[in-house]
Amino acid sequence: MSNTVKPETIVIKIGTDALSKGGKPEVPLLKKLVAEIATLKKDGHHVVVVSSGAVGAGRAFIKGAYEITARSEIIEKQLLASIGQPRLMNTYTRLFSTHGLHATQVLLTHDNCRGKGLEELTHYFDGVRRNPIFVPIVNENDTVSTEELEELKVFRDNDELAVLVAKLVGANRVILLTNVEGVFNHHPSRPGAQLIPVLHLSCPAPLTIDTSGKSDNGRGSMESKLNAARQLHRAGINAHIASSRTPDIITRIMKNEDVGTYIPRVLPDKWVPATRTGKTFEAAL
């Protein structure tokens, strides 16, 4: 690794619509993202992936072949997750293996995130850090925890799960990959809508941001990503919101190129952008 590059701990959250089309994982897209993550590992960075997509993968797999009968929507999603999660992990395992890396499955419930469960989880991630051949793939265990999570509101979505993981592993930055280029001042489909390249959350000046819309196949939304960014900001962690379909997106973010929306962890008067030349916005969100 270059002496000029300081190793970082990076959490990369890949949303359902960021890794799939119609719920079915887009293997060529995932292959490119995995290659970028492998390069980060080679350069000495510690990377944890938070991946959505289990329910969508399950639905896409049985579509047209079988119709699930369940007493509730929650149970249906549990069944779909139990079908899709192993297939999604199989894809990650196969892709990472081509780079000499091993994808490890980490399925979390609320019991893992409190008391002794949280302590054990901390030890696990410490073990992973000491063995760079492993790449943790974290997801909520929808199969056993969806119903209780609906009541306990532990993880509203995987954006929030990414925040928990980031705090747990002491992340320097979190990259939230979605199916839009970043945060816009209006809905991206609206004429004249502008991408906000740098968004400061500490400033008193209000800013109108369009957070309407929701993931086609997942639970997240732009609002949930901004909520996650707010929590990360308060925890002293840099955040990026960007499209997984932007070429070399992870690599370009790490080079401070002008892609996506960067949400710095410090006050504007203490932060100087490296190579980003786009317009800076301030917001009190």
User: Which residues in the chain come in under a pLDDT of 50?
Assistant: 1-2, 147-149, 152-153, 205-206, 215-218, 220, 268-285
Give residue 271's pLDDT. Answer: 43
Burial of 33 (0-12, 13-18, 19+ CB in 10 A): buried
Q: pLDDT (tens digit, 9 = 90+) per residue, 6-23?
A: 899 999 999 999 999 888
Strands of 30-169 (E only): list them. 46-51, 102-108, 134-140
Quick one: CA dihedral 151, 152, 155, 156, positive or negative?
A: positive
Q: pLDDT (tens digit, 9 = 90+) per residue, 145-179?
A: 554 445 544 566 889 999 999 999 999 999 999 99
* Amino acid found at 34: V
Give residue 188's pLDDT. Answer: 80
- How far apart, in whole angstroms, are the C-alpha atoms of residue 211 and residue 227? 11
Nearest to 25 by CA among 46, 7, 52: 52
Give residue 145's pLDDT. Answer: 59
Give residue 209's pLDDT. Answer: 61
Length of the chain: 285
Q: Which residue has 């938070």 as its token pair?
A: 50
Residue-range domain boundaries for the chain = 9-182+225-251
Q: Architecture of domain 9-182+225-251 in CATH?
A: 3-Layer(aba) Sandwich (3.40)
